[in-house]
Amino acid sequence: MANVLIPLAEGFEELEAVTIIDLLRRAGINVTVAGLHEGSVTGSRGTVIIPDDTLDMAMGDEYDMMVLPGGLPGADNLNEDTRINSLLRQMEANDRYTAAICAAPKVLASAGLLNNKTVTAYPGTLETLDVEGMHYDGGAVVQDGKVVTSRGPGTAMDFALSLIGLLEGDSIRDQVEKGLVR
């Protein structure tokens, strides 16, 4: 069973975080939701989530994938946390997946993971960044090697299903999607 870390920061995008957590868990994936600090985390629209662990506690485990929900100021808060950037670089060094949606791909860029990659993000998020060799695609979900990015709240379900396919295979992905009655 795959092991996935989803860190949550104040101001996360609720639709993205909950969709990703829910669909991955429907696929039988072990998901650890980790708050940057002790206690609950409030999303950009006031929804309160109680994480499974703090990031410090979660950092002791090994993960197959790390997924960053977007939202503002959530993505900025993730980006300002040195532990997040360190974990992302560690995931890359260990040939593990990193994934980000909406404004969160800028966190991948800050960690140096988008150099020479084809990516997508919420429109306007990456265009002003100076990232060596990065190509902005604009698609709903874009995978380049072990980096997966997605555009925003409207693409959260496609993003989560893509992540399931990568971690558990197409049959599990299809099974989860069938249960959603899309």
Domain ranges of the chain: 3-175
Model confidence, pTM: 0.97
- Residue pair 139/91 in contact (Cβ under 8 Å)? The answer is no
Find the mean pLDDT for residues 13-22.
98
Average pLDDT, the chain: 97
User: Using CA atoms in the order 38, 40, 41, 42, what is the torsion angle rounded to 10 degrees?
Assistant: -150
Find the mean pLDDT for residues 102-123.
98
pLDDT at 40: 98
- Say which DSSP state 169 is in: -
pLDDT at 146: 98
Q: How far is residue 23's CA from residue 60's CA, in Å, rounded to a whole number? A: 24
Tell which CATH classification among 3.40.50.300, 3.40.50.2300, 3.40.50.880, 1.10.10.10 matches the domain 3-175.
3.40.50.880
Q: Annotated catalytic sites, by residue?
A: 102
Q: pLDDT of 140-171, one tens digit each?
A: 999 999 999 999 999 999 999 999 999 999 99
